[in-house]
């Protein structure tokens, strides 16, 4: 599943020329970024969706049929297995898992999740460090992150939200509660 598109693909979706897309990028009407060592111009999926909606262009079929991408980051294998099993049974999700902060960093860039469920206390890196790295990269600014932990004091929750987490669940939590929050994030993206 693509998280970004080339100018040629965007021109095809919008049924226009690549020159029109270049002009819209240059004028600031469509955000883009450089990839492949700065040689290739790419448009993030979220920016393309905004552009399509703002300009009344029909949503391309390829983009409507894509699964919702969730990354689960926790070093407790039992929790990861139960989350994956529950989420796969409830909706059309594409799910990746990581048991370390390092692996999460790799998957965030390769998988481009829309929602991350992130344990605060990982074996190698604190979840706060993961969110700090994530939020420092503008291509991940719209990723929704739910912090989970059994060791956070109530007065620390505001710190987590100020650090860039979108939500917090205290372990143990009901899987249905996590599902409601995840679905709420996806509903925001569709609006």
Region for 117 from its dihedrals, namely left if φ exceeds 0, alpha if ψ lies in -120 to 50, beta otherwise: beta
Can you tell me the mean pLDDT for 81-94? 84
Closest CA to 147 of 139, 5, 138, 156: 156
Question: Is the pLDDT reported for residue 116 higher than 70?
Answer: yes
d(CA 153, CA 170): 9
CATH code, domain with 21: 1.10.1660.10
Q: Are residues 84 and 44 in the same domain?
A: no
CATH code, domain with 156: 3.40.50.2300
* Count of domains observed in the chain: 2
Q: Are residues 37 and 115 in the same domain?
A: no
Can you tell me the mean pLDDT for 32-39? 78
Q: Are residues 58 and 130 in the same domain?
A: no
Q: Are residues 60 and 79 in the same domain?
A: no
Judged by DSSP in three states, 189 sits in helix
Q: Are residues 53 and 92 in the same domain?
A: no
Q: Are residues 160 and 76 in the same domain?
A: yes
Distances (CA, A) of 182 to 36, 47, 100, 143, 161: 32, 21, 21, 11, 16
Q: Are residues 90 and 125 in the same domain?
A: yes
Q: What is the pTM of this model?
A: 0.68
Question: Is the pLDDT reported for residue 1 higher than 50?
Answer: no
Query: What are the tens digits of pLDDT across the range 5-32?
Result: 899 999 998 889 999 999 999 999 999 9
Query: What are the tens digits of pLDDT across the range 37-86?
Result: 777 888 988 889 889 888 888 887 776 656 789 999 999 999 899 999 98
Q: Are residues 100 and 42 in the same domain?
A: no
Q: Could you tell me the residue range of the domain that residue 21 belongs to? A: 4-64
Q: Are residues 113 and 81 in the same domain?
A: yes
Q: Are residues 90 and 152 in the same domain?
A: yes
Closest CA to 163 of 152, 176, 172: 152
Judged by DSSP in three states, 104 sits in helix
């Amino acid at each position: 599943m693509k998280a970004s598109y080339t100018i040629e693909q965007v021109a095809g979706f919008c049924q226009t020329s690549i020159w029109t897309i270049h002009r819209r990028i240059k004028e600031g009407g469509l955000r883009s970024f450089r990839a492949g060592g700065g040689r290739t111009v790419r448009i993030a999926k979220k920016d393309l969706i905004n552009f399509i909606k703002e300009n009344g262009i029909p949503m391309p079929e390829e983009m409507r049929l894509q699964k919702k991408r969730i990354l689960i980051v926790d070093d407790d294998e039992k929790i990861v297995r139960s989350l994956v099993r529950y989420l796969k049974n409830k909706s059309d999700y594409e799910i990746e898992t990581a048991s370390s902060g390092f692996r999460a960093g790799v998957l965030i860039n390769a998988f481009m999740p829309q929602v991350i469920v992130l344990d605060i206390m990982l074996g190698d890196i604190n979840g706060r460090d993961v969110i700090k790295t994530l939020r420092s990269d503008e291509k991940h600014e719209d990723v929704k992150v739910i912090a989970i932990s059994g060791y956070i004091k109530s007065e620390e929750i505001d710190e987590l939200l100020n650090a860039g987490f979108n939500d917090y669940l205290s372990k143990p939590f009901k899987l249905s509660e996590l599902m409601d929050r995840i679905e709420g994030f996806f509903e925001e993206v569709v609006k």
